[in-house]
Structure 1
């Protein structure tokens, strides 16, 4: 198995929008969008720190475009900033119609996650390299 020489700072996740994910208007539930965004942030922070991480804060999540049933969403999450024990992860959700080659930004937000040691106490995380994520 190949060894990675740098830590992954970005995660991409893709979901189809099925009827069970939508409200009575036929668009993605806002709560489902937030849950998927938090999951993408969790995976990104876990891959960066390689420790147990927990979400401690989310910024305002801006919903810019509805996500209709029958479309595809791609979540793109990346480490924006690291502190001593925390990581700020930006997450964008892009929507694509299944029958067209176009994308629109549906929502965006930021999540702060903290790395924990075996006793559940905050523990240091690797810093971002100068110049941002690799």
Structure 2
């Protein structure tokens, strides 16, 4: 699993118990999953369709740094299924896990659309490929 994002737990992120609010963690997690999907599927129209059971395993306190890890489980016809873990950056203690987050690729009409992707691609590899293609076209 690759950990893509770090968040600093601030006073506005806390619940009445003085620990990290579950709703804030889920907001961060969902946002990062969709951003990851947008990058992988190369489409701004990616939405969350489903989240499986959300397992809260520990908490975080003000001042803690948490990181969000994502990995692709499966590329579907118009979907992308991810696995997620949120953990404490310093201790690596798991805060939340979600086994399945299903994202859907949408067309301009807001309907599910095939994305044609079958494997994880990295932006740097796409950029290098474009550069090579452009070099081949130069006179």
Under a length normalisation based on structure 2, what TM-score does the superposition of the two structures give?
A: 0.78
Is 1:84 the counterpart of 2:74? The answer is no
In 2, Cα distance between the equivalents of 1:68 and 1:11?
20
Higher strand share: 1
Per-residue deviation, 1:80: 1.4
Higher helix share: 2
Is 1:124 the counterpart of 2:114? The answer is yes
Give secondary structure in 1 for the equivalent of 2:6.
strand
In 2, Cα distance between the equivalents of 1:123 and 1:73?
34
In 2, Cα distance between the equivalents of 1:69 and 1:32?
13
Moved over 6 A (4+): none
- Structure with greater Cα Rg: 2
Quote the RMSD (CA, aligned, Å).
1.8
Structure 1: 5+ residue runs without aligned partners?
A: 1-8
Deviations 1:74-106 (A, max 9, x none): 00112211110011111110113xxxx422111
